[in-house]
Structure 1
C-alpha cells in the first residue's frame, strides 16, 4: 500500500523550505548592509571634498550641511577629510569657524611670486628729476627757480629712495649750497649709456613732448655738456648726513 503524502505535512515542508530560503537571503543582506553603509559614507565624503575644493571662500558647517543628506555627520566627515590631507600638498584647515583647502605651509615658497611693481612718479617728481638731469650739477634753489615753486622734502626723498639722484658737491658761491646730479642707477633704468644720450630739444619736439612753438627765452641745456659753476667735492665726514634720505631741514609742504 502506497503512502499518500499528507497535505498538512506537505504544506509544512514547503513553509520550512521557504523559511530556510528567506533566512539565507537575510543573512546575505546582513553582510551587505555594512558595506552599503561604508559606500554611502565614502560618497558623502567625496561630495564634501568637492564642495570645499570648488568654493571661492571658506564654508561654514551650516552651509555644508545644507548641501548634504540630513543624516550626515559633518563634523566627523571634516575630521576624516582633514586626516586624509594631513601629509599632502594641500590641507583642510579651519578659519574662523569656516573650512577651506590651503597650501601646506612648508610648500608656500613654491607659489611665491616676485613682481616688481612700477612706481608712478608725480608731476612734481618728474619735473624735479628732469631739471636735475639736464642742469646738473644744480642746487635746490636753482631747481625751485626753474620750476617756479618750492621743492618739497618728499619729492627729493623719493628720488633719493629710487637712487636716481645724489649729492654731488658744494657750489663755490656764498653759502656753498649742495649740488645734485643723477646716478648710474638713473642711466640704467632709462637705458642711457651716458647723460649725453638724453634727448635734446629737437628730439623732444619730434616725440611730441614739446610744443613746436616754444615761448621766448625757453631753452633746454645740452645734456652732453652739463652746466653749473665750479663745485668742490663733498667731505665724507662733514657732509655724510647729506647721503641719508632725511637730509633736508624743515618741514615744507607737499606739492600737488
Structure 2
C-alpha cells in the first residue's frame, strides 16, 4: 500500500515538474508518455488542479493541453502599463471571429460573410499570432483551403474548448453583438452563438 502511494506521489511530482518547466501547454499524450503505461493521469491532473485551486497559480486545460496560469483574481495586481505597438485591424478581428465560429471555413466563405474581400495579409497576421492554421482542402471545384483556430487561440482567450465560446446572449449582454438584423443573421451559428462586432477602427489593408 505504501509503495503504491509513494509511486503515485512521485508521478504527481513528475507531472508537476514537467508542467512548470514547459514554456508551452503540454499535451496529455506527452504527460502520459512520461508516466508510462497504467498511470492514472486524469486522476493526477484532477488532484493537482484541486491542490492549486487556492494558490497563486492554477492548473488549467485548453484543447487537451495543460499549463499553469496566474490565478484570475491576481491578474490585475500583476499587470504593467506597456505601450501597445500593434493592434489587430478591424479586418483581422472580423476574420478571426468568423473562423472561430464557422470553422472549418474557406477564404471565399469569410468574404461572403464579411461582404468584402479578405487580403492575404490579414490571414498572415493571424497565422503569425499563432491563432489560426490551414485545414483540409474542400472537395469542391478548385479545392479551396479551409481555416481553423489553434490551441494557442484557446489558450490566449482562456477557453478550454470551442464549446466555451460566448453565445448570442453573452455577446449581446456585453454589448459586443451588432444590433443590425443582417449582421446578426450572417454572424450567427444557430441559436446559441454569434460573432462579436469588430471594435477596432483600423481600415482594411
So what's the TM-score if we normalise by structure 1? 0.40
Q: Which structure is larger by alpha-carbon Rg, 1 or 2?
A: 1
Highest RCO, 1 vs 2 (Cα 8 Å, sep ≥ 6): 2
So what's the TM-score if we normalise by structure 2? 0.49
